[in-house]
Amino acid sequence: MDNRNRGMGMPAIPGMGGPQQIRLDLATMPDGCCVKCDNKEFISTANIKMISPLQSPTGQWAHGVAQWWACTRCGYKFDPNEWIEKTKKEEKETLGNAKIADSPIGDTGR
């Protein structure tokens, strides 16, 4: 009976199981946005990759699906790594700006 439950359901995480539960609140998560135009809407799309008989293990034409997301505004392909890089950069810039804003700037308003 126990065996049937194995491999199904949640993996046991040490320290979990009390009232504490890891819940992802999607509302607080940043939106992945287009690195080109900052649009936050994407459409799921796919390329069909044709595998030639020379590369196919079966020696026959085969195909695989490469799924990706296209920006609904500019069509740019969403790349999570690219988004992370951009976000990191922007965070740095924001921190830099905050520092500049904190330090007194000898610019008196006219």
Nearer to Zn ion, 36 or 86 (CB): 36
By C-alpha distance, which of 30, 27, 34 is closest to 83?
34
The correct pick among 62, 73, 77, 82 for binding Zn ion (CB under 5 A) is: 73
Residue closer to Zn ion (CB basis): 73 or 86: 73
Number of H helices, E strands in the chain: 2, 2
Counting contacts by CB under 5 A, is residue 35 touching Zn ion?
Answer: no
Minimum distance from residue 72 beta carbon to Zn ion (Å) = 8
End-to-end CA separation in angstroms for the chain: 80
